[in-house]
Amino acid sequence: MNVLKITTTPIRLSMTSQRARLDSEIPDPEIGIIQNPGRLNMKSENIKVNIDTSRSRDSMGFKTARGLMSDAAQAGLKAAADATAQYSRVGNQMMQIQDGVTVADIMKNQMLAQTNVTTGIGFIPSVGTDISWTPADLAIDFAPASVNFEPKVQKTESVYVPGELNVNVEQYPRVDIEYIGDPMYVPPSANPAYEE
């Protein structure tokens, strides 16, 4: 007769798994645009005409104070040179008096030499006007407009999430041994239902 009852409880497991994954974050692209406007620089210079009438006015006798002083100085130098030449000629002629030349003849010749009359036709003014000119000038400096692009390259960030396997023990194994027979008393007299 079986007096033991043996009950076994098996182990119970549950498993959950998660696959590995790669999380990537791609940032929005950015680009910088720099615009440089066009530029046009123009520099112009008008024509310049220089008209000098000083020589023309001098030829008509309309002299400036500076011209008058210059002419007076030249005339003084010429008069001094002429007087020196005349005195030397008279002196040379007087040294020849032994040849029958008298002082009256010398003075007469000098008077006749100074009475030269010159006639002629001249144009007034005798010198034309000095005209000079500088041509007009136009300088153009042009810089075209430009657009510059500056892309900003950003790194893609990736995160690797590894796979996961979870094993849960929902019920542990167990062995239950139960005595189903009557108890055994030692000594037998210890049994409450003992009869002699």
Ordered DSSP codes for the chain: ---EEEEEE--EEEEEEE--EEEEE-PPPEEEEEEE--EEEEEEE--EEEEE-HHHHHHTT---HHHHHHHHHHHHHHHHHHHHHHHHHHHHHHTTGGGT--HHHHHHHHHHHT---------SSSSPPEEEEE--EEEEEEE--EEEEEEE--PPEEEEE--EEEEEEEE--EEEEEE-S----SSGGGSTT---
User: Looking at the whole model, is its pTM more than 0.85?
Assistant: no
> Does 34 reside within a domain?
no
Residue 95: pLDDT over 70: yes
> Does 176 reside within a domain?
yes
> Does 165 reside within a domain?
yes
**Of 183 and 158, which is predicted with more confidence?**
158
> Does 174 reside within a domain?
yes
> Does 20 reside within a domain?
yes
Residue 18 belongs to what domain range?
Answer: 1-27+154-196
When divided into structural domains, the chain yields a total of 1
> Does 139 reside within a domain?
no
Please report the pLDDT score of residue 173 as a whole number. Answer: 92
Q: 16-20, 22-26, 110-114, 156-160 — which is least confidently predicted? A: 110-114
> Does 78 reside within a domain?
no
> Does 163 reside within a domain?
yes
**Of 111 and 9, which is predicted with more confidence?**
9
Q: Looking at residues 94-121, what average pLDDT do you find? A: 71
